[in-house]
Amino acid sequence: MTQPLISLRNITHRFSSAGRTLEVFRDVNLDIQENEVIAILGPSGCGKSTLLRVIIGLETPASGEILYRGERQIGLNPSASLVFQNFALFPWLTINENVELGLANLPWTDAQRQDRLRKTIDAVGLEGFEEAYPKELSGGMKQRVGLARALAVEPELLCMDEPFSALDVLTGETLRNETIDLYVAKDSPVNTILMVTHSITEAVFMATRIVVMQANPGGIRSVLENPLPYPRDEHHPEFKRMSEQLHGMITQTLIPDAAEAHHQLPRQTQHLPQSIPNVSMGRTIGLLEILENEGAMEVFDLSRLVDMGLSELLLVVKAAEMLGWVNTPGQRVEMTAEGRQFLGLNVNERKRRLNALLREIFVFATVLRMLGGSDHGEVDEETVLTQFALHFPHEKPHTLLRTIVAWARYAELFRYSSSRRMILAIKT
Amino acid sequence: MHPSRPAPQPFETGPGSSTNPPRRPALWIDLMVVGLLIGLIQTLLILAREWSAPLRPVADIHLETRYLPLYTLFSFARGMMAYVVSFCFTLVYGYAMAKSERAERVMLPVLDILQSIPVLGFLPGLVLTLVRLFPRSNLGLEMASVLMIFTGQVWNMVFSFYASVKSVSPDLTAVARIAKLTRWQTFLRLELSCATPGLLWNSMLSMAGGWFFLTVSESFVLGEHDYRLPGLGSYMAVAIERGDGSAQALGLIAMALMIIALDQLVWRPLVSWSQKFTTEESHPNTDSWLWNHVRRARLTRGFALATAAFAKRFKRPSRPARAATPSRSAGWRWAPTVVAGAIGLAAMAGAFAYFQMIQGLTTSDWSALMSGTGLTFARILAAVAIATLWTVPVGVAIGQRPSLATKLQPWIQMAASFPAPMIFPVALGLVLGAGGTLSGAAVVMLLLSTQWYLLFNIIAGARAIPRELVEASRIARLSRWQRWRRLVMPAIFPQLLTGWITAMGGAWNASIVAEYVKFKGQTLSTHGLGALISQSTERGQFAQLAAAVGFMAAVVVGFNRLVWRPLSHWAQTRFAASA
């Protein structure tokens, strides 16, 4: 194999805020070859956008090194550009000026600059909009400008951070196709693309190689080659097969015990430090309502039925599984007897039942224990956050606390005062 | 936003009548531009002559009408020069503070203290130093006056710029880095652009702040020296002192004309132009007739093309910027720290000199300061309370009628930027005539100078009350009282708080001119911190002055820290509009 354009060697990255350190991902190794389209796929919170920023050089990794054409890359990559999820256009510059931004400091003549500008504007279909300001454009047109700005410098590596997710479905479809057309075209300014996405279909549609990441701790789980020829057809059996394979992988990353879920784990093991997924109780119960008739469904069908992204849906499934309401053999979601029984209860009975269930779950048991050990049945939010940061170094403690508080309020397990930042026991 | 001097946002005006101006290029505008240029050159010549003239501490101020245009021009020039200094100071200080955390730690508290020092606190130092530096020409005195106006303008601009630079979107910063823009390009294209709307709005407030002490900045007594510069402020001061009613009226008209001219010829066009820097997609009614014409005048277009071509010449040698040259950036990284260190040292030296100075004060001096502070505080509370009582109902009434608010906005703006000390004599005459005392009149003066901030903010708050909430409270058939308690008061509270903070900060400063007045040939004074400051300046008692100014700064900063900051934080978490 030829020398890779970029190699990542044991890249680890951490964020620290308010004295706490959060490890985003660990020991990431990846080679990016020229003429590839790589899609990084993964659930939210796995650090895929951060990885992209580390590769470009916007963020410096905590450890490990990045090689650019065999040499260590320090600071910004000299020939990478980035397309942003929310376009990141300068509102006070015209479309022309926005696209020209990256050309300003290239050692070119004015004529070369103008020539390149015209070609790029033409390539992405922005003719006629040159003098407009971003606020006059629709989302799709804005992202064309973002694309043009990134392409104008003829980057060796074009990075895209969920570039189509802020657009409506139809516009996203158009831009996906056009991006691939640009990649396939012989005289195109771009040969190598690295994109971050959370959509399996988008990854299979565009990428020649798909990198699946996992969260908690973040890292690369597996890499999948996608040899399908362009243009790709979503209804082609191979396309479908690959999508399902990826569904399986992602399901595995989120619900690792999916395969052995039949062998019900004994209740006690639930006290092992286990976090809870960041979903609302309303959604979790909603999942049961959906399953009530069928009793069981494929994850993929369920995702389409409720019009929800797979990784988001899987978090809901995971929550339901923690509460013992569903089982997940393979890629199926099956309602358990407990789940069905819970649905039959009225609002107050549900609260009581949920209250009993939550007491068995590690994070709630921890908070209750802390409340029991306190003087007036009050615990400072900070104390709880510190405790969580200790047990779950890969999770954002504030997000976790918010979810816990929401569930506990639902089940009347304990109270929370946001003005005093205190967790309060409910006196019985 | 910094809590002590938050920049109120202009309340949005209704959908604009953005009618397309006719395509015909206007000849008269070209003529006007030429005329303006000639006028500018002429003005510069007059100013140069005046400034380089031999030192004349007490200029003869003539109350005849024919001198008034020239005086107005002089004051206008001082205000503009002070503004230019403020602008440059803002960019340097605000940028350094926003870009380096180490610098911020020193520069932010220093700024906080500086902004609470009243203009008279800067006066002796500035005047004595500058007059000594230029003993033969008027330059020193003129510079001192400009710098005093500067101290009335600059602080909120710095806070606004600092906050804007700090809140630049990280994505746009990333774009600038990937595009390998130089530091200067990033500053122009990103940080300054982002800050423009806020900076512009604060500039308008700042100009008003500068005019507020115009009378003091142009004519003052310092020890045995009497200083007076030719200008509108000293014209008014003399007119008030002599009790010349018609001269006062003319001075007021000149002042009003100057404010209107500035608004129409400078601020409105600038606000109109700055629309492109706002990120919102709304189109507030910020039409400026001047900007509409200038935009399509041939001459201006030619001028724009010429400058663009000129600028290009300098743009050319853009070396291929390689990935950050380490040596240069390393040097730059230390710059803010060095600046901050210097400021820190200067602050320490200043504090040392300060404490040496106030050592000689007697117990009676201190007790006078204490009681004076208490009295002034009581007057300020009374003024703010009265202002709140009338501005809340009026502001809410106006705010809930968008068309009315649009109509009234320029008038309120005008009233707010009119320097209250110039109207004060009228109020004083009325209060004294009705058998009142100066102590009572001082409250009226404080009211005059603070009520507008409140009105502004309350209108803005009332306009922002979500329509759905108004409808919901009507459907729930809430009584008038319930609606005020449940909806209106909580909704406008954060803005009311902002208004209070700004009003009280301004009121402390205003007490200097409210409690000590030269009126109809006599000097009236009532006990208070403001009067103590005025008096000790005039008598050249610098130890007393230093102590009194220090007291005022301490009270303002302390009040901000101990009362306003916690209160704003609470209001933010409790009443923030988003759920």
Termini Cα distance of chain A: 69
A-B CB pairs within 8 A amount to 77
Query: For B422-461, how does the pLDDT look when each residue is reduced to its tens digit (9 = 90+)?
Result: 888 888 888 888 888 888 889 999 998 888 888 888 988 8
Task: Examine the pLDDT at A270 and tell me if it is beyond 90.
Answer: no
- In this complex, do B185 and A149 lie within 8 Å of one another by their Cβ atoms? no
Q: Where are the alpha helices (DSSP H) in A185-309?
A: 200-206, 237-254, 281-294, 299-305
Q: How far apart are CA B470 and CA B487, in angstroms?
A: 8
Band of the pLDDT at A305, cuts 50, 70, 90?
A: confident
Residue B161 lies in a domain: yes
Residue B252 lies in a domain: yes
Mean pLDDT of B294-311: 58
Residues B164 and B76 in one domain: yes
Residue B24 lies in a domain: no
Q: Does B181 touch chain A (CB under 8 A)?
A: yes
Q: ipTM of this complex > 0.90?
A: no
> In terms of CA atoms, which chain B residue is nearest residue A151?
B179
Q: Does B277 touch chain A (CB under 8 A)?
A: yes
Residue B25 lies in a domain: no
Residues B468 and B563 in one domain: yes
Residues B80 and B204 in one domain: yes
Last residue of a domain, one of B296, B329, B349: B296
Q: Does A109 touch chain B (CB under 8 A)?
A: no
Residues B68 and B202 in one domain: yes
Q: Does B382 touch chain A (CB under 8 A)?
A: no
Beta-strand pair A332-335/A414-417: unpaired
Residues B417 and B521 in one domain: yes
- In this complex, do A135 and B172 lie within 8 Å of one another by their Cβ atoms? no
The total number of structural domains in chain B stands at 2
Amino acid letter, B158:
V
Residues B427 and B539 in one domain: yes
Last residue of a domain, one of B257, B279, B296: B296
Q: Does B300 touch chain A (CB under 8 A)?
A: no
Q: Pick left, alpha or beta for residue A307 (phi over 0 → left; psi -120 to 50 → alpha; otherwise beta).
A: left
Chain B contacts of A101, Cβ < 8 Å? 175-176, 179, 181, 189
> Among A351-360, B21-30, B104-113, B460-469, which is the least confidently predicted range?
B21-30
Residues B280 and B376 in one domain: no
> In terms of CA atoms, which chain A residue is nearest residue B574?
A419
Q: Does A419 touch chain B (CB under 8 A)?
A: yes
Mean pLDDT of A385-401: 85
CA R_g for chain B: 25
pLDDT at A146: 92
pLDDT at B20: 43
Chain B contacts of A53, Cβ < 8 Å? 174
Q: Cβ distance A270 to A361 under 8 Å?
A: yes
Q: How far apart are CA B222 and CA B233, in angstroms?
A: 17
Band of the pLDDT at B333, cuts 50, 70, 90?
A: low
pLDDT at B12: 38
- In this complex, do B175 and A56 lie within 8 Å of one another by their Cβ atoms? no
- In this complex, do A81 and B178 lie within 8 Å of one another by their Cβ atoms? yes
Enter the pTM of the model: 0.79
pLDDT at A325: 93
Band of the pLDDT at B328, cuts 50, 70, 90?
A: very low
Residue B342 lies in a domain: no
**Selection from B553, B528, B245, B487 nearest residue B368 by Cα:** B528
CATH number, domain at B103? 1.10.3720.10
What HEC string does B421-462 produce? Answer: HHHHHHHHHHHHHCCCCHHHHHHHHHHHHHHHHHHHHHHHHH
User: Taking all residues of chain A, what is their mean pLDDT, rounded to a whole number?
Assistant: 87
Last residue of a domain, one of B241, B268, B296: B296
Residue B556 lies in a domain: yes
Chain A contacts of B320, Cβ < 8 Å? 105-107
Question: B318 vs chain A: nearest CA distance in angstroms?
Answer: 6
- In this complex, do A105 and B180 lie within 8 Å of one another by their Cβ atoms? yes
Band of the pLDDT at B88, cuts 50, 70, 90?
A: very high
Q: Does A91 touch chain B (CB under 8 A)?
A: yes
**Selection from A1, A24, A5, A27 nearest residue A13 by Cα:** A24
Which tokens is B191 given? Answer: 């940080």
Q: Which structural domain range is residue B132 located in? A: 30-296
> In terms of CA atoms, which chain B residue is nearest residue A138?
B281
For chain B, give the percent of residues with pLDDT over 90: 16
Residues B280 and B397 in one domain: no
> In terms of CA atoms, which chain A residue is nearest residue B569?
A419
Residues B397 and B253 in one domain: no
